[in-house]
Structure 1
Amino acid sequence: MPDLVAELWSAEGLDSLSWLALASGVLALILSTGRSLGRRLKLPLWGIPEALLAGVLGLLIAPDGLLPLLPVHLMELWEGLPLVLLTLVFGSLMIGKPLPQWRGVWRPVGGQVSLALVLGFGQYVVAGLAVLLVLQPLLGFSPVMACLIEVAFEGGHGSAAAMGPSYAALGFEGGKDLGLAMATVGLLSSTLVGGLVVVLARQKGWLLSQTSPAPEDPGPSTAAAGPVTNQPLWAAWPVNLALVGVAVLIGSGLLQLLRLGTDAIGGGVAAVGASMPVFPLAIIGSLLVRWFLERQGLTHWASPAVQSEIGTLAADLLITSATACLNLALLGSNWLPLTVLAAAGLGWNLAIILLLAPKLLPADWFERAVIEFGQATGVAASGLLLLRMADPEDRSDALPAFSLKQLLLQPFLAGGVVTVVAPLAVVGWGLPAWTAFCLVVVLLAGGGGLLLAQLGRNSGASLPQP
């Protein structure tokens, strides 16, 4: 069977465009199959993306799978997709969302930002300690492995796959596959462990619904939403794809300007610029596109539904292709460091949301903390699922606070600038210095958050309403 498949998929009869079309079509078919099976198995109810099941199906028919039907060259094309798809996800992130009013936002949202910084930089701290104390001296692993918890838990499959080439260039050849495996562990843990934490919160009486009456129904919203069109959804796709394309082009232009500036400085700064991918800057392009549409009164061009679907589809294709390309042999030989890092990251996230979050956040602290746990361990969708479990009647301010925090920190953590710079800093500064730097950030963010929380309690600050 493998010989027959290899003959049928021989490269001689197919040109580059044919291979690209074939790779795209097969990937779409696998994702469609995974989505259909996932809906039947009710995976979304458990917070497990259907794309993860699709990726497992792809892994089964990969050249090294149980039923090797796919050609090696097709898998090579899939391996180049994560960076492109993640750029589309970031480029569509803000176009369909109204820009917030910034005045008065910092104090009520400051605790959310502080919590996210403690979670993100703390993952570098616990990973650095695990590598310095266990994995490097006893097993001889690369110090760059200390970046895996943040890139996989905070950034997810997309960031782990996109950072693979940077890790390889720094001598950490297996970083991509190990990061993808860590992302899968984080994705499953965020839902399963997070669900148990919600059950614990109900037993302890931590939920806002257990301490405050239900809010009155304000009635239908009369807020202006800009011109309303009767344009069918399919007709909105070309315009919305073009808007995402403009955001990506802006991000590419900013990247070129950044590299010109870093090249002029030279040294380690130039290395950072040369290694910087476009996706962290695509979100800036997305913000600028949204700002332009609001200034010109053209927000009706951007369909929130279509922009959300563009981002969802790109993320699903990313997870499917990245999972299907996993190197199972490498994962099997590295189960011990993966277990150590996953346990360290999960333990840190749990400790922070259960011990620090009550002191950082206002009365709806658990709802705000559990959505951060879901995002910082798995993906934002996991956080939203946990929030729905904890706050089904939407009584808390967790969702608007989380959204504003994402807007502030997305360009930096979870696949942003810090994620890109971290392995360069580990190699350039040394892992002890990078770990110490992250510890300082954790202490400053935690201390600043506690101070803001005290000021907020004294002044009675609450989240501004849109």
Structure 2
Amino acid sequence: MNSVLNDLNIELYFTSIPYLWLALSVFVIFAILLFISRQFESALRFERLGIPIALLIGIITLLIGPFGIIPLLPQAVTDIWDDFPTPLLTLVFATLMLGRPIPARQGLFEPVAKQALLGFLLGFGQYLVGGVVVLLVLIPYMGVDPLMGCLIEVGFEGGHGAAAVMGESFRHIGFSKGLDLGLAMATIGLLSSTIFGSALIIIGRFLGWIIPSEHSHDPKNDSEKILSIDQQFRLILINFAFIGLAVLIGLTLLNLFRLIGEYLGGTIQSVSSTFPVFPLALFGSLLIRFLLEKTNNTELVSSILQREIGILSTDLLIITAMAGLNLPLISNNWMSLTLLSIAGLTWNLFAMFLFARISFGERWFERSIIEFGNATGVAASGILLLRLADPEDKTNTLPIFSIKQLFLQPLLSGGLITVIAPIAIMSIGLAQWTELCGLMTVLFILFGFLLQNRDF
């Protein structure tokens, strides 16, 4: 019997190799297409209007994906791509702080605190509206599992990575459909974030919410010294080495966290085993930038190269996620997923247009659109939307968002609260958990208004 199983494993291994090469080859082709497309003025014009190039290519991959109209890509390829979001998002976070100066500490507390409050408001509010929809509609009329009250935060805030990890936790506590439904919510969230966010940016330009740039952004316009081919090659190697070092720092911290979690056990172990590497890679990026500034070696980092690597990683994450959209799974659970998605989107828009507009004041749109993207389709989507609204980052939103993520990511989007939520629902009930999240939501709104008129 063991001999038969070993032969089967060997056969599966070798039959999967062609699909792996095909997945990597198509992935590289998309990367080249994205890089080339950004060199054309017509493509950049779409982005300036608020239509991301990644969305256009993503629609093509959806049409040729395993569930598309012309299924040219086998499902084995998109199954391999399902493992790409975490590495790509790690690259995005590893480049965030390397290529830009660290903001001055003076006057930094207020914008970071307000950004964090909006993030907490969105996260706890998603548990609130999810719980209300499940309690009032889905349980009485469809008899669903109470744990579906977690799906908005897991899918929208956490994305595919958190949904995949939480799927195992759901299975352990008897919610076997949690993995598939979480992945479906993550895909809907990513699509909604990109499509609705792009539409908001187009509307924002028309209504004057976005202050237009003085000149259109073009990477070729960035001022950097003209270098020889040898110097350019050396600069590229150094910058990739810095990115690798930031990821290595993140992996080291993650392994230490998991080692501590094994000794402490309980909830800490559950959180450490599911905690992602990308927020720790962001810390690595910030640490390297800090050391470079302290030693006056910032010329070793190319801001253009770091930005382009982050942009390419963000776009590839959007495209690969759209390619594997499981349309049959969504259609089989379309009613419950639709109601939860509408509730989540409505809440995110409410927080963006009311709370954020009052709290942030000037440039409220750029400060909130990145949070809308993050709370609907993970951080990469938020960064994409900010790039469309503020390509030159004149509002200084990206560094503020990045620093905020260092504090928020360990709690939401696959962090401590995400892990605790299903355990709490099983222990105290969905109604009590929803009341608790409602109380927290009200508190964050009050804190936001208290910070509004306070000087720091």
User: Which bin holds the TM-score, normalised by the shorter protein?
Assistant: 0.7 to 0.9
What are structure 2's unaligned runs of at least 5 residues?
1-10, 172-177, 215-222
Q: Say if 2:163 is the partner of 1:164.
A: yes
The secondary structure found in structure 2 opposite 1:92 is: helix
Does the residue aligned with 1:69 lie in a helix, a strand or coil?
coil
Partner of 1:322: 321
Separation in 2 of the partners of 1:98 and 1:208? 23
C-alpha distance after superposition, 1:253-278 (max 9, x if no partner): 11111112222111122111111122
In structure 2, give the amino acid aligned to 1:47: G
The whole-number CA distance in structure 2 between the counterparts of 1:27 and 1:372 is: 28
* RMSD between superposed Cα atoms in Å: 3.5
- 1:20-419 to structure 2, matched below 5 A, reads 20-33=20-33, 43-107=46-110, 109-153=112-156, 155=157, 159-169=158-168, 170-171=170-171, 172-174=178-180, 175-196=182-203, 199=206, 202=208, 230=227, 233=232, 235-362=234-361, 365=364, 368-369=367-368, 372-373=371-372, 376-377=375-376, 379-386=382-389, 399-400=395-396, 402-413=397-408, 417-419=411-413
Unaligned runs of 5+ in 1: 1-10, 216-224, 389-393, 462-466
Q: Distance in 1 between matches of 2:142 and 2:395?
A: 43
1:12-23 alignment runs, 5 A limit: 19-23=19-23
What amino acid sits opposite 1:185 in the alignment?
S
Deviation at 1:370, TM superposition (A): 5.4
Closer/same/farther in 2, CA of residues 350 and 292 from structure 1, 3 Å limit: same
What's the CA shift for 1:398?
7.6
- How far apart are the structure 2 equivalents of 1:301 and 1:80? 32
Distance of 1:385 and 1:207 partners within structure 2: 10
Instruction: Tell me the amino acid that sits aligned with residue 24 of structure 1.
Output: L
For 2:412, the aligned partner's letter is V
Distance 1:208 1:81 in 2: 35
The 1:119–1:354 alpha-carbon spacing in structure 2 relative to 1, beyond 3 Å, is same
* Aligned residue-pair number: 416
Question: How big is each residue's C-alpha offset from its partner over 1:205-248, in whole Å with a ceiling of 9 and x where there is no partner?
Answer: x8889xxxx99xxxxxxxxx9x9673665543222111111111
TM-superposed deviation, 1:292: 1.9
**Partner residue in 1 for 2:4:** none
C-alpha contact (below 8 Å) 2:126/2:153 kept by paired residues: yes
Q: Which residue identity lines up with residue 287 of structure 2 in the other structure? A: L
Indicate the residue corresponding to 2:414 in structure 1.
420
1:345: how far off?
2.5
Measure the CA separation in 1 of the matches of 2:394 and 2:140: 42
Write out per-residue CA displacement over residues 263-296 of structure 1, whole angstroms, 9 at most, x where no aligned residue. 2111122111111122222111111121222222
Given the superposition, is the C-alpha separation of residues 248 and 16 from structure 1 closer, same or farther in structure 2, using an over 3 Å criterion? farther
SS in 1 for 2:71: coil
Deviation (angstroms), 1:148? 4.1
TM-score by length of 1: 0.77
Structure 1 window deviating more from structure 2 (301-310 vs 446-455): it is: 446-455
Distance 2:61 2:76 in 1: 14
TM-score of the aligned structures, taking structure 2 as reference length: 0.78
Distance across 1 between alignment mates of 2:451 and 2:249: 35
Distance, in Å, in 2 between the alignment partners of 1:55 and 1:108 is: 34
Which residue in 1 is equivalent to 2:424? Answer: 429
Letter of the structure 2 residue corresponding to residue 230 of structure 1: L
Task: Return the letter of the residue paired with 1:91.
Answer: A
Q: Report how far residue 358 of structure 1 moved.
A: 4.7
Greater alpha carbon shift after TM alignment, 282-291 vs 434-443 = 434-443
| Contact 2:59 2:322 (8 Å CA) reproduced | yes
Counterpart CA distance in 1 for 2:133 and 2:13 is 50
Percent identity for Structure 1 against Structure 2 = 35
> Once the two structures are superposed, what CA deviation does each residue of 1:162-216 show, in whole Å capped at 9, x if it has no partner?
123223211312111331122201221122245446655x5xxx8889xxxx99x
Q: Tell me, what secondary structure is at the counterpart of 1:419? A: coil
